[in-house]
Structure 1
């Protein structure tokens, strides 16, 4: 399973999103700190979940980070999070 697929699986299980798009942006960071030769180190997550309703931006990010704790401690060097509640 790729890192992108693992991210998708973990977020689907933890947050039951209505929309989830994960993009591997590693190619944009080649040669930078944290970039790995094979990529899969820099990602953007665009997620819409009812779990975010009424939460601040920081609390939404905390939920995503908690769901991906293992990956953030390992293969993920950088993660951009775009987290919204339905209708936002």
Structure 2
């Protein structure tokens, strides 16, 4: 099972009302087709209600567990919201300084 699918599966425990997972590996140095190392997650869940941003990230880290390891997922950008917060939020990612130059 791909890392992206494993990530999606594990995040289901947070009962998201919206979940977007983007494999951003191709924008980073050392990329080759099929590489899975850098991901962005946009997750909306009432599990984050009343939590500060760092606590929301901790919940995501706890859910994904050992997927965050040097030989697996190198970087995970997390955008965690409750339903009332997320509409219109900019979740775009900056370019990596080591991205392949086209």
**Same-fold status (TM-score > 0.5):** yes
Task: List aligned pairs for 1:28-67, cutoff 5 A.
Answer: 28-31=27-30, 38-67=34-63
Deviates more, 1:22-31 or 1:37-46: 37-46
Report the count of equivalent residues.
84
Runs (5+) with no aligned partner, structure 2: 86-102
Q: Where do 4+ consecutive residues of structure 1 move more than 4 Å?
A: none
* 1:8-63 deviation line (CA, Å, top 9, x unaligned): 00001x200000000000000032xxx67741000000000000011000000000
Structure 1: runs of 5 or more not aligned: none
TM-score by length of 1: 0.88
